[in-house]
Structure 1
Amino acid sequence: MRVIFNEEMRQVADDMDRMASAVSTAIRTAGRALLGPDVEAAQDVIDGDQAIDRLESSVIDQCIQLLAKQSPVATDLRIVVSTLRLAATFERMGDLSRHIAEAVRRSYPDSPLPPEARELFGKMQDFLNDMADRLVAMLADRDTKVAERIIVDDDQLDCLHQQTFQLALSDEWTGSKQQMIDLVLLARFMERIGDHGVSAARRVVYIVSGFDPSKDPKDLEDID
């Protein structure tokens, strides 16, 4: 039974790796679409979201079958249940990337952002691109050190998010009312992608160690 469980979990892990890679691509492509603006890139993200949804469904189905047939306990149960939650987290990151792409498509050929917002949103996208790469590496290697960096660095994105509000209320604002709405929504989508990345990182730490870093993130320093 143990051999069967391990083999089926490897299949689930393969799907999760593919899901993380697809989400990473969606994050990067949505950012390229936004900063272009690039409507073809936006459409790629929108079309690609269905593949992410299918991977989530596959992972959920496999995990439910494992719970029903293998009755895992202790560490095995922790891995299966945590994988279910990871799949939902990645699916939501894909949805948020699609929301960004839809905003680009809706406003094209104009940009949903005024010129003065491009530098700030470029910094936010650079952060998300780096986080997307870390997510793939973290999941493939179950690397808690990478997970730790994702959790700790999230404050940087939160700071950039706050700056978007300051920009919208400043005298430098030249955009339209619609662009102001888009700016607030887009900044929120990007900030939420970061939050879900943190959630995924915490879940990987929990899978590896059994420790929930959301209880006391400072304890991550003690994880080997």
Structure 2
Amino acid sequence: MREVFQQELREVQDRLVEMSTLVEFSIDNATRAFNESDVSLAEKVIAGDSRIDSAAKSLDELAIDILARQQPVARDLRIVVSALRISASLERMGDLAEHIAQLARYRFPEKVIPKSLRSTFHEMGTLDVAIAKKLTELLKSEDVKLAEEIRNEDDRIDELHVSVFDAVLGETWKGAAVDTVDATLASRYHERFADHAVTIAKNIQYLATGNLVGSDS
């Protein structure tokens, strides 16, 4: 029975990695669609979000089944409960990638963001993709160094997020109302994507070290 239980825990980890890989592809395509006004990529992201949702539902069902049958304790219990939390964050990250892609589709053939902010959003997208790749590797390896790298990159995204608000509220902003709304929403989606990755990284750090990591302000 113990061997079967360990196999089930490995399956939970494998499914988290699979979900994270789907999210990684989704944010990569979404940010490229957003920055390049590529409607075909945007449609691909939007259509593919159901796979992430389905994977999350399947993983949650497996985790709940393990809790009911195996009644795990100590670290094994933390693994299963953390898996439920991580699954929820990954599902939300997939939704945020979809939201970014939807903005690209709505504004096609125009670009979503005025020229003055395009370099900012390009950097935000690049950072989100890098974070997603590191998150997948973190789920595979539990290398806490990757968790710290994710937190550092999230700090930079937070800085860029603030700079977007400063720009659209500044006296020199020439964008129309729709430009202001799009820039504000897009910045929030990019920023929240990274925040969820940080939440997952904290869960992995806790599993790897047994130490709770302080929450973000």
Alignment of 1:203-222 (within 5 A): 203-214=203-214
Matched, 1:153 2:125: no
Unaligned stretches of 5+ residues in structure 2: none
Match of 1:202 in 2: 202
Superposition deviation, residue 175 in structure 1? 2.5
Superposition deviation, residue 30 in structure 1? 0.7
Alignment of 1:165-180 (within 5 A): 165-180=165-180
Q: C-alpha distance in 2, partners of 1:207/1:73?
A: 13
* Identity within the alignment, %: 39
Superposition deviation, residue 152 in structure 1? 3.1
Moved more, 167-176 or 123-132: 167-176
Q: C-alpha distance in 1, partners of 2:45/2:214?
A: 31
Q: Equivalent residue of 2:117, what SS?
A: helix
Amino acid at match of 1:16: L
Matched, 1:88 2:88: yes
Match of 1:219 in 2: none
Match of 1:221 in 2: none
Amino acid at match of 1:113: I
Contact kept? 2:131, 2:153, Cα under 8 Å: no
Amino acid at match of 2:178: Q
Q: C-alpha distance in 2, partners of 1:40/1:190?
A: 20
Match of 1:105 in 2: 105
Q: C-alpha distance in 1, partners of 2:158/2:181?
A: 19
Q: C-alpha distance in 2, partners of 1:38/1:28?
A: 12
Superposition deviation, residue 8 in structure 1? 1.0
Contact kept? 1:37, 1:111, Cα under 8 Å: yes
Q: C-alpha distance in 2, partners of 1:106/1:153?
A: 29
Q: C-alpha distance in 2, partners of 1:69/1:143?
A: 30
Q: Deviations over 1:93-126 (max 9, x none)?
A: 0001111111111111112211111111111111
Q: Equivalent residue of 1:48, what SS?
A: helix
Superposition deviation, residue 158 in structure 1? 0.6
Q: Equivalent residue of 2:72, what SS?
A: coil
Q: C-alpha distance in 2, partners of 1:23/1:2?
A: 32
Q: Deviations over 1:168-214 (max 9, x none)?
A: 12344332211110000000010000110100100111121221112
Amino acid at match of 1:145: K
Superposition deviation, residue 39 in structure 1? 0.6
Q: C-alpha distance in 1, partners of 2:215/2:165?
A: 30
Normalising by structure 2, what TM-score? 0.96
Match of 1:185 in 2: 185
> Residue 187 and residue 66 in structure 1: after superposition, are their counterparts in 2 closer, same or farther (change >3 A)?
same
Match of 1:136 in 2: 136
Moved more, 193-202 or 5-14: 5-14
